[in-house]
Amino acid sequence: MLLCLLTGCATSLPEHDLPPSYTLSVRQDSKIATYVGSRQPEPTASGFVLLQAGPDALAARLQLIEGAEQSLDLQYYIYNQDRTGALVAQRLLRAADRGVRVRLLLDDLGNQLDGERLSALDRHQNIEVRLFNPLTLRQRWLRNISKISEFGRINHRMHNKLMIADGQVFITGGRNIGDEYYALSEVNFRDLDIMGIGAVSPEVARSFDHYWNSDKVLPIGMLERRVGRTRLQALRARLVRSTSSFDEEAYRKRIKVSAFRHFLDTEAVRWHWGLADWIYDPPAKADPFDRLNTVPLVGRSLVRHASEADGELLAITAYFIPGDEGQDFLLRLAENGVDVKVLTNSLATTDVVAVHSSYAPYREGLLAGGVRIWELKPPRGPRRDVQPFFNESTASLHAKAFVFDRERVFIGSINLDPRSISLNTESGVLVYDDKLAQQTAELFELWTGENTAYELELRDGSLHWQDGQRTWRREPRAGTWRRLGAWLFRWLPIESQL
C-alpha cells in the first residue's frame, strides 16, 4: 500500500527555457575525423570493436578524451568519486583547457559527485554539467525527504552509458565511471562495452542531444549555488592528489600498456564493419505525465529481434527477472526450436540480493521448458558477507548483451528486468555483423565455462547447480546471511520496482 501511495506522488520539475545545444559539425581535418575517414570502407558502414577487459575500456575512454579537438559528450548513470572518476575528470578539464566543449549529463541519484564538485566543473567556460530528473531539495539532510515526497517522479532514472568524442567515435555498454567497472578495485564487475565509428555515429549524437535538451534535464547552476573560480582551482589540486598514486600503481601497470591507450595513432584496433541501428528510450519515458512513459522502445526492439530468431538466442544480463510475460515469451521460443541460453548472476555474486529473490522463482519453470541458465561463480577464496541485504559482491556480472542467431548482436545498458523495461531509460547499439556476433557468442561460451559459471539443472523436480566436477543442491557459496536476505525479500511485493 505504501509503495502504491509513493508511486502516485509524482511531482514536476520547475519549468525552464534554455537555448538548445546540439552536436557540433564535424571538422574533417581533425585527428579523429581523419582516423575514421581513413578506415571506413563505405559511407553506409559502421565499425565496431568489443571492449571486454576493464583496463582496455578505460584506456579507450582516456584516448578519446585526449584525442578530441571539438567536443566530448558524456552520459552516465553512475559517476563515482573514486580514482577512476578523478582520472576522467582531470582529463576532461585538460580537454576543456584546449578549447574542447564538454557536456556532462549525469543521473542525479546514480552519480556520487556532490553538488560542489559538479559546480566547480561547471565553472569552467568550456564545461557544462546537467542532471537528469534531479531532486528539488538539494541540501544533504533534505535529500531523503525529497526522495520520499517525489518518489513517483524520481523512481524513473536514466540508466544510459555513453561517451562521444568529436561526434565521431562513441563507447557504450554496461560500464559506468568507477573503479569497479575497470578491474581497478577489490570489487570487480565482469562487464562489456563496444566502441563504434562510422554511419551510425550521427544517430548516437542525436540521441545525446535529445536528452541534453529534454525538459527532464536541468543545469547544475539551477540546482546548486554558483561557486567561484577558487573552487575550480581547488578541484584541480584535489584531482592531482587523487590521480598521482593511481598513475604510479594500477594506471601505469594495467592501462598504459593497453593497445587502446594510443589506438588513434596506431593500427592496433581491428574494426568489424557492417550495418547498425542505435536504439534508445526517449527521455520522456522517465516522465510519469508523458504519453511516452509506457513506451519501452529498447525492450520492444529486443523482443522483435528475439522473435525473429530461428536458431539461437544468447542473453547476458546482470539482473534477470523475466516476469510472467517474459517467461512465457522465452518458453515459446524454446518450444519453437530456438536454443535459448541465459547467463546471469548467482546469489553469491549478485550486487542486489533483492533482485535475486525475485528472479529465483522463475528458474524451475524456464528450465522445465527447455531454457538453459547459467549463473556466475564467485571468485575462489573466502568472501566477506556481513551485509546480507545490500552488500556488493567482490565479483559480479554487470554486462548486458544479446546475440540473435549469431548474426546480430545488441550491446547496451538494458537488463531483462522490470526496472530496465518499464521504469528506466536505456540505450544500446544493434549490429548486423556475423563476425562480431560470433565474437560475442564466444565470450558467452567463455563466461559459461565450468571454471566461470554454474549450469542449472532440474533433477527429479529439484534445482541443482553443476560445473562438470561437482553438483550443489542449494545456492552455491552464498552464505547464511545472503540466503536469509533473499528469503526475506521474497515476501515483499517489490518485483515491479527491481
| Whether 400 is catalytic | yes
Please identify which of the residues 107, 108, 166, 287 carries the catalytic annotation: 166
**59-73, 242-256, 259-273, 366-380: least confidently modelled range:** 242-256
Which pLDDT score, from 0 to 100, does residue 302 have?
97
Does residue 292 or residue 418 have the better pLDDT? 418
What b/e string do you get for 80-111 counting C-beta neighbours within 10 Å, with b at 16 or more? bbbbbbbbbbbbbbebbeeebbbbbbbbbbbb
User: Residue 245 pLDDT > 80, yes or no?
Assistant: no
This model's pTM is above 0.85: yes
Alpha helices, H only, 150-252: 151-154, 201-212, 229-246
Q: Which pLDDT tens digit goes with each residue over 442-464?
A: 999 999 999 999 999 999 889 99
Assign a CATH topology to domain 296-497. Endonuclease; Chain A (3.30.870)
Domain spans in the chain, listed from the N-terminal domain onward = 35-265, 296-497
Is residue 262 among the annotated active site residues?
no
- 159 carries an active-site annotation: yes
The residue from 56, 405, 417, 433 that is catalytic is: 405
Provide CATH code, domain 35-265.
Answer: 3.30.870.10
pLDDT at residue number 383: 47
Residue 388: the pLDDT is 44
Has residue 390 got a pLDDT over 60?
no
From the centroid of its chain, how far is CA 151?
Answer: 23
Active-site residue, from 191, 351, 400, 417? 400
Q: What is the DSSP letter of 13?
A: P
Q: Using CA atoms, how far apart are residues 422 and 497, in angstroms rounded to an integer?
A: 9
pLDDT confidence of 428, banded at 50, 70, 90? very high
Q: How far apart are CA 184 and CA 186, in angstroms?
A: 7
Determine the average pLDDT of the residues in 23-45.
95
3 — pLDDT class (breaks 50, 70, 90): very low
* Residue 384 pLDDT greater than 80, yes or no: no
pLDDT of 22 over the 50 cut = yes
* From 161, 216, 272, 356, the catalytic residue: 161
Phi, psi of 341 (to 5 degrees): -130, 135
Say which of 124, 156, 159, 356 is annotated catalytic. Answer: 159
Q: What does the pLDDT read at residue 175?
A: 97
For 91-150, the pLDDT digits (tens) are 999 999 999 999 999 999 989 888 899 999 999 999 999 999 999 877 776 777 877 888
- At 143 the pLDDT is 76
The cell for 309 is 530468431
Cell of 420: 530496465
Q: What does the block give as the cell for 102? A: 564538454
The answer to whether 35-265 and 296-497 have equal CATH topology is: yes
pLDDT at residue 248, as a whole number: 62
**What are the cell numbers at 152?**
513517483
